DNA sequence: CGTATTTGACCGCG
DNA sequence: CGCGGTCAAATACG
């Protein structure tokens, strides 16, 4: 009960920001992405903190919080079977699920893209038993290039065509790679106006390797909390067309994303060796429409 | 012509 | 052996 105040404060803040965002997006008067991003990031941050607070402060028994079986017990400590390095690495990846719902208010909207600020490359799609729609698998585009371990899977809800479950695996570590040619020794800081977001690589001992990037947020405050997330989420309009269209179509839309943004970078080395942390989040975001392109 | 998607085969785990 | 996940060849895309 002591945390109630802080919790409420965060929630209020989140709500306020959300309202602002919604208003802006509703207007659809060419909102600069920077604004969108920053606001979205703030919202995310606030909400995440709220949730973490709530979870840690009320681990007892959440009233009327049935929740779905999203939180699966993670695999226990397995023996290491060296087979495929990549696959093996997957042992200690964080996994969190975000529920994304598209708003039908989009009229004339063609497709919406969930721009989470990262480029994803689809590498598979499978039908899931018990689920009406297939699940799409995505990996960070730069895994090839920079070894970014991030991946995500998008699964459309069984009934609600606008509801999607996006499960993120691992954290992004990729740095945007804009210039291709580029000069050999001409890379310092990019005059990017894009507001950075906070990415917290957290370990049991907090070995964050946050270089001196531009941090407008206050990592200190957040570092107190235990958390780890990537700035991923957002949604866009989607027109409710034939729900029976291609499932893959929709799933794709959700998964696709092509925009720049950035996240702090973590050391290429993998963190967390035996620390197994599992973050289960269940959130439902509902925003209005905005204009994007696919 | 290079890169992202698609799609079925393949593989490991339960 | 079935399911969920990944690979990889073929294809679409720009």
Pair of tokens at residue A149: 């371990």
As a whole number of angstroms, the distance between CA A160 and CA A164 comes to 8
Q: On chain B, which bases lie within 7 A of the protein's CB atoms? A: 4-9, 12-14
Q: Which residue minimizes Cα–C1' distance to B6?
A: A124
As a whole number of angstroms, the distance between CA A18 and CA A75 comes to 36
Q: Token match 């695999």: residue?
A: A75
Which nucleotide is nearest to A122 if distance is taken from CA to C1'? B5
The count of residues in chain A is 294
Question: What sign does the dihedral A222-A226-A232-A237 (CA atoms) show?
Answer: negative
Which nucleotide is nearest to A155 if distance is taken from CA to C1'? C4
Q: Are A106 and A289 in contact (CB under 8 A)?
A: yes
Q: pTM for this structure?
A: 0.52
Q: Which residue minimizes Cα–C1' distance to C8?
A: A123
Q: Token match 């990537």: residue?
A: A230
Q: On chain C, which bases lie within 7 A of the protein's CB atoms? A: 2-8
Identify any residues that bridge with A169 across adjacent strands, giving them in sequence order. A95, A151
Q: Along the 294 residues of chain A, how does pLDDT read in single tens digits? A: 555 556 656 665 665 565 556 555 444 444 444 455 455 555 655 665 665 555 445 444 443 333 333 333 333 343 444 444 455 555 556 677 777 766 554 444 344 445 567 889 999 999 999 999 999 999 999 887 877 888 999 988 888 777 788 888 887 777 665 434 444 443 344 333 333 333 333 222 232 333 332 333 333 333 333 333 333 333 333 333 444 445 556 666 666 654 444 444 444 444 333 333 333 333 334 333 333 333
Asked if residue A120 keeps its beta carbon closer than 7 A to nucleic acid strand B, the reply is yes
Taking CA atoms, A240 is separated from A51, A157, A197, A219, in Å, by: 31, 14, 32, 40
As a whole number of angstroms, the distance between CA A274 and CA A72 comes to 18
pLDDT of residue A124: 95
Q: How far is the CA of A234 from the C1' of B11 (A)?
A: 34
Q: How far is the CA of A252 from the C1' of B13 (A)?
A: 28
Question: What sign does the dihedral A142-A166-A30-A12 (CA atoms) show?
Answer: negative
Which among A35, A94, A74, A28 has a CA at the least distance from the CA of A226? A94
Q: How far is the CA of A58 from the C1' of B3 (A)?
A: 48
Which among A143, A162, A140 has a CA at the least distance from the CA of A153? A140
Which among A264, A280, A257 has a CA at the least distance from the CA of A94? A280
């Amino acid at each position: 009960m002591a945390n109630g105040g802080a919790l409420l404060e965060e929630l209020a803040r989140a709500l306020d920001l959300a309202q602002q965002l919604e208003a802006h997006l509703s207007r659809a008067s060419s909102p600069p992405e920077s604004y969108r991003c920053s606001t979205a990031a703030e919202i995310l941050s606030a909400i995440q903190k709220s949730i973490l607070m709530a979870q840690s402060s009320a681990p007892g028994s959440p009233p009327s919080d049935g929740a779905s079986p999203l939180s699966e017990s993670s695999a226990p400590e397995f023996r290491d079977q060296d087979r495929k390095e990549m696959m093996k690495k997957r042992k200690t990846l964080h996994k969190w699920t975000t529920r994304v719902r598209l708003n039908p208010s989009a009229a004339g909207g063609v497709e919406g893209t969930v721009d989470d600020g990262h480029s994803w490359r689809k590498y598979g799609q499978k039908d899931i038993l018990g689920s009406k729609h297939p699940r799409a698998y995505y990996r960070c585009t730069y895994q090839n290039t920079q070894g970014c371990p991030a991946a995500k899977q998008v699964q459309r809800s069984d009934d609600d065509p606008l509801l999607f479950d996006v499960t993120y695996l691992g954290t992004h570590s990729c740095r945007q790679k804009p210039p291709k040619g580029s000069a050999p020794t001409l890379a310092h800081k990019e005059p990017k106006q894009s507001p950075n977001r906070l990415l917290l690589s957290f370990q049991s001992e907090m070995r964050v390797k946050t270089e001196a990037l531009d941090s407008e947020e206050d990592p200190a405050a957040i570092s107190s909390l235990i958390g780890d997330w990537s700035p991923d989420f957002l949604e866009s309009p989607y027109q409710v067309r034939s729900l029976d269209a291609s499932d893959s179509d929709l799933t794709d839309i959700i998964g696709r994303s092509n925009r720049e943004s950035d996240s702090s970078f973590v050391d290429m080395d993998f963190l967390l060796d035996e620390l197994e942390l599992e973050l289960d989040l269940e959130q439902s975001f509902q925003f209005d429409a905005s204009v994007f392109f696919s």
